[in-house]
Amino acid sequence: MNERSFIFDIIMHNKYDLILRAAEKIIATGGIQGLSMQQVATEAGVAAGTIYRYFKDKNELILELRKDVLSQVAGAILADHDLGTLEQRFKRIWMKMHNYGKQRTSTNLSYEQYAHLPESNTNEIRQLEMELFAPLQQLFEEGIKQGLIQPLNPRFLYAIAMEPSMAIARSIRRGLIEYNEKDITLACDICWQAILIPTTSTN
């Protein structure tokens, strides 16, 4: 790759990212119904025609935005997923997921608007989720193999043990509950205990 094409690729990537961030901001402040390609172009500071070089329509833009956000989340919560014991790994991921989710960012505020739309729930998205969050599935599978974690489908285990971290984060972000760090630590421990196989004590 020569220097000219390298610079061109950087410019193209920057415009692509500008468009995604613009769409994210519009959805976060005005809702999904307020999103139009013209608004995105204005917010991103690009010509309307430029957007169609990257996205054929609004649905594809939303789909690509979701893919981008999933990559961001996976990178944020799974960076050191393989360090420590199973319990340490689980709790680190749980806390990172919680801390990410409670932030009042355009990413989080917009994600709630489009996460359940049919156009952003495709086989492609499900496959991407499996690839990006494979370390979490591996953690559950390791725990099952070691006889520590209940032998459930990893998706069940995620719903039981990980989704509460995001639900609590949303409630905090919306100002619905008051909390302290001890509350969050206890909630994390409860979620971990919920998927463990009970040990029988012999007296």
- Helical axes 154-161 vs 163-173, angle rounded to 10°: 30
Note the pLDDT of residue 202. 47
The tens-digit pLDDT sequence of the chain (203 residues) is: 554 454 434 445 588 999 999 999 999 888 888 789 999 999 999 998 889 999 999 889 989 998 988 898 899 899 889 999 999 999 999 999 999 999 888 888 888 777 777 766 788 888 998 999 999 999 999 999 999 999 999 999 999 999 999 999 999 998 898 889 999 999 999 999 999 999 865 44
27-to-30, 54, 107 alpha-carbon distances in Å: 5, 19, 9
Note the pLDDT of residue 201. 52
179-to-104, 163, 192 alpha-carbon distances in Å: 16, 18, 19
- The CATH code belonging to domain 80-203 is 1.10.357.10
Distance CA 134, CA 132 (A): 6
